[in-house]
Amino acid sequence: MLNRPCLALLTAALLFAGCTKQESPASAGPGLAPRKVLRYGNGAEPQDLDPQIVTGTPENRLITTFSEGLVSEDPQMNIIPGVAERWEISPGGLTYTFHLRADAKWSNGDPVTAQDFVQSYQRELTPAIGSEYAYMLFNHVRGAKDYYDGKIRDFAQTGFQAPDPRTLVITLRQPAPFLLHAMNHYAWYPVHIPTVKKFGGLDRRSTAWTRPENFVGNGPYVLKEWKPNQIIVAERSPTYWDRARVKIDEIDFYPIELADTEERMFRTGQLDITNEVPLTKLAVYRREHPESVRVDPYDGIYFYRFNVLRQPFDDVRVRRALALAIDRESLVKYVTLADEAPAYSFVPPNLLGYRSEHAFKADPGEARRLLAEAGYPGGRGFPRVELLYNTLEKHKTIAEALQQMWRKNLGVDITLTNEEWKVYMDAQHSHNFQFERAGWIADYVDPHVFFDLWETGNGNNDTNWGNPEYDRLLHSALATSNNPDRFAIYQRMEKILVDEMPVLPIFYYTRARLVSPRVRGFFTTPLDNFSWKYADVVP
Amino acid sequence: MLRFIARRLLETIPVLLIIITATFFMIRFVPGGPFTAEKAVTPEILRNLEAHYGLNQPLYRQYLDYLGSLLHGDLGPSFKYPNRTVNEIIGDKLPVSLELGFISLSVALALGLTLGVLAAIRRNTWIDYVCSSAAMIGICVPTFVLGPLLVLTFAIHFGWFNASGWYTPIDRVLPCLTLGCVYAAYIARLTRGGMLEVLNQDYIRTARAKGASETRVIFRHALRGGLLPVVSFLGPAIAGILTGSFVIETIFQIPGLGREFVNSAFNRDYTLVLGTVILYATLIIGLNLVVDVVQVWLNPKLKFE
């Protein structure tokens, strides 16, 4: 009798033993070429697959798999044709005319037309669907903001026109020299209008059109299966115009939030590419499996934000003192560990050829002098300062290292406070902080992204800092059509930032991940976008 | 007994209402909202989003609207996942958590009862020490240590299982074993304590004096009384185990409700928070009722009152 539970266990174990582990990724029927399957760890579960609704990185990866925009980027960040095979830009830089390729097709066989784009943009600018990236259109395109605000009712009055099925004309309200790069963002991607209409209409936010049984896309892959929190299966599209270049038959996206779980799945061969690498494992992999470690630059900056209305950061000398007093080289070498570049300016290095000329240097002596000048010699009398960061081990470690450097080099004590993500974000946006950790990743590849941010009153500035000359330069840069002249203006803006230091740059991000040696031709852009059509796997 | 159950069920209604009300207002007063993000939403876009979800209405109005839809069994749309409703998410995830829970519970009971009974009847022998130590280790080692340890040993070293996932039946083994072991440890300790207390009672001596076999004494007479503390523990434990475990589900990549329960609070997914809290509360209340009924059945000294 005592043994009954044990017997039950044994039986269960035998039953399980009869089952097999996950199917081999390259399996196929007898006589058939092995099916090429790539398994990718994609971070969090995506909110949805509707390019006009979602925000976020895991969603970006999926949408660029299932959909395609007018233009694309090659591994060297050059703009290359997407749905548009060619385009012209008017001399003043205000009108863009795109010529759509004849063989661009939706996954149900319908041709991709200019009208699809116009109607998609109309949907995105419909207030009722609550598109969070609608500003990407209405900040640039003529009449789009008025349509969004209900000031004009007729969409034909906006700058989106489709004179014929294969011609799309976009007219801007002011020049945007980076527009083609910005168009790589999925906010500019089309949706299949008949499908969206069928499942609720163009003005409904929450509909079922993105379910696998309904989804129609125009990208290199089609959505085959979506089991929430388990797997999203993408299968090679038979209708995609560039299908000859696509080599992998199936991509399985696994939503895995925990880097440690990913790493274990990589070790058992369940994943070919991970989304990240646990920091504690990076050194081990570099030593024992260097062929699997991949670290790429990532266009983003890790910085600390001052609230310039709060003491003691209302004094620029204090802000500069803190910025000059830390040893960024040691930080990236011993704490962050993923080959990050120390940041002495505000724009990641070599962004479309832009290199900061006004980078500052670490100088603890000068930092002490500035602090003394501000009335805190040797840190004496320095008020209580609280550094806020969102609860995460990495941020804590970085904050502790910097806290030590400030204590040692300036004699000031900074208190560390952590808050859960949304509480921390709420404090930031309501300016209810003194000093806080922050980060910014570019939406598109252009230095403008990192200058636009510090415009007076920008929704993401959050420092309370502003400078009229800086704002004036920002606007004059947009009106400058060639990059060398535009970049010269950005240099002057960067000088203002270095002098006034509204934020404290720390390092430029990188993306570290594990990539199995069976994956070939995998590249990632500085925005961490990758086009799967260049990748291949060997069995 | 029926009157007892009917009365308890009636009492459930105000309790649930208090839980719903408290949760509704508490989650609204937490800083940050569903659309608080690193890239701030522009004011006009935020207004449109709030209008879409009715967040522009006064709070009392939103509360009444929510209660109204709840009466129709509609838990509302999810804020985080725009193309899914809370009903759908719970419908998708609950069966997974139930499966994880039932298997883990079977493991826990099989292991826990066996160890507990063995330790009690072989008190102060090496068997008792081994069983009690195993239970103590089980209580002390958290799931986020035991889970990865099992994965390292059986998935990575021996290659018998996948490291994580919930795709094939064999994927159930490691997570269920991890979760089961922790509960087994508690059950073993409670069973041992309960059994020891009962084995000293007069009626056990009487049974032995009447010549009943040791097996009969233990399983027929002692176990029934010895299980009382285990049954009290199992009520809330089953509710917890069935509605999923955040840690296990995250480590093993299991698409269960435990992760949604925790993540919905982080995401300020108001409707999903409420939906999962209501489900949890109902389960806990229901299982506590079952425990009370079972206790009366096990212990003749108790009555339905």
pLDDT at residue number A256: 93
DSSP A371-413: HHHTT-GGGTTPPPEEEEEES-HHHHHHHHHHHHHHHHHH---
Domain membership of residue B22 (yes or no) is: no
Least reliable range by pLDDT among A72-76, A414-418, B181-185: A72-76
A7 or A84, which is more confident: A84
The single-letter DSSP state of residue A100 is: E
The amino acid at B7: R
Contact A34, A248 (CB under 8 A): no
CATH number of the domain bearing residue B212: 1.10.3720.10
pLDDT at residue number A30: 54
pLDDT at residue number A8: 42
Identify which of B48, B82, B89 has the shortest CB distance to residue A127: B48
Domain membership of residue B123 (yes or no) is: yes
- Average pLDDT rounded to a whole number, residues A227-243: 95
- The Cα-based distances of B297 to A251, A252, B159 in angstroms read 56, 52, 47
pTM: 0.89
Tokens representing A133 are 């990236």
The interface predicted TM-score of the complex, written ipTM, equals 0.86
- Contacts A53 to B, Cβ<8 Å: 82
Residue A146, helix vs strand vs coil: helix
Residue A171, helix vs strand vs coil: strand
pLDDT at residue number A539: 78
pLDDT at residue number B88: 94
Contact B26, B280 (CB under 8 A): no
Across the interface, whether the CB atoms of A423 and B31 are under 8 A apart is answered: yes
- Contacts A231 to B, Cβ<8 Å: 167
CA of B161: which chain A residue's CA is closest?
A: A21
- Average pLDDT rounded to a whole number, residues A216-232: 95
pLDDT at residue number A72: 93
Q: Each residue of A314-369: pLDDT tens digit?
A: 999 999 999 999 999 999 999 999 999 999 999 998 788 899 999 999 999 999 99
- Average pLDDT rounded to a whole number, residues A150-175: 95
Find the DSSP H helices in A270-360.
279-288, 316-324, 328-331
CA-based Rg of chain A, rounded to a whole angstrom? 26
CA-based Rg of chain B, rounded to a whole angstrom? 24
A-to-B residue pairs, Cβ atoms closer than 8 angstroms:
173
Domain membership of residue B157 (yes or no) is: yes
At A7, is the pLDDT very low, low, confident or very high (cuts 50, 70, 90)?
very low
At A31, is the pLDDT very low, low, confident or very high (cuts 50, 70, 90)?
low
The answer, for A96 touching chain B at a CB cutoff of 8 Å, is no
Q: Each residue of A467-497: pLDDT tens digit?
A: 999 999 999 998 887 889 999 999 999 999 9
pLDDT at residue number A19: 43
The answer, for A203 touching chain B at a CB cutoff of 8 Å, is no
Domain membership of residue B124 (yes or no) is: yes
Alpha-carbon torsion B116, B117, B122, B123, what sign?
positive
pLDDT surpassing 70 at residue A277 = yes
The single-letter DSSP state of residue A497 is: H
What is the rounded distance in angstroms from the CA atom of residue A401 to the CA atom of residue A328? 10
pLDDT at residue number B9: 87
If DSSP states are collapsed to H, E and C, what string results for chain B?
CHHHHHHHHHHHHHHHHHHHHHHHHHHHHCCCCCCCCCCCCCHHHHHHHHHHCCCCCCHHHHHHHHHHHHHCCCCCECCCCCCCEHHHHHHHHHHHHHHHHHHHHHHHHHHHHHHHHHHHHCCCCHHHHHHHHHHHHHHHCCHHHHHHHHHHHHHHHCCCCCCCCCCCHHHHHHHHHHHHHHHHHHHHHHHHHHHHHHHCCHHHHHHHHCCCCHHHHHHHHHHHHHCHHHHHHHHHHHHHHHCCCHHHHHHCCCCCHHHHHHHHHHHCCHHHHHHHHHHHHHHHHHHHHHHHHHHHHHCCCCCCC
Across the interface, whether the CB atoms of B255 and A227 are under 8 A apart is answered: yes
Q: Each residue of A514-535: pLDDT tens digit?
A: 999 999 989 888 888 888 989 9
Interface test with A, best of B53, B107, B164 (most A CBs within 10 A): B164
> Percentage of chain A with pLDDT > 90?
82
Domain membership of residue B245 (yes or no) is: yes
Residue A291, helix vs strand vs coil: helix
Domain membership of residue B36 (yes or no) is: no
Number of domains within chain B: 1
Domain membership of residue B103 (yes or no) is: yes
Contact A16, B114 (CB under 8 A): no
pLDDT at residue number B295: 81
pLDDT surpassing 70 at residue A13 = no
Please report where in the chains the tokens 């906010």 appear, as a residue.
A187
Contact B208, B137 (CB under 8 A): no
At A14, is the pLDDT very low, low, confident or very high (cuts 50, 70, 90)?
very low
A205 or A431, which is more confident: A431
What is the rounded distance in angstroms from the CA atom of residue A413 to the CA atom of residue A415? 7
Domain membership of residue B133 (yes or no) is: yes
What is the rounded distance in angstroms from the CA atom of residue A14 to the CA atom of residue A3? 16
Q: Where are the beta strands (DSSP E) in A255-373?
A: 293-306, 341-342
pLDDT-flagged residues of chain B (< 70): 243-244, 304-305
Mean model confidence pLDDT for chain A: 91
Residue A530, helix vs strand vs coil: coil
Range of the domain at B200: 92-257
Across the interface, whether the CB atoms of A422 and B156 are under 8 A apart is answered: no
- Average pLDDT rounded to a whole number, residues A46-52: 94
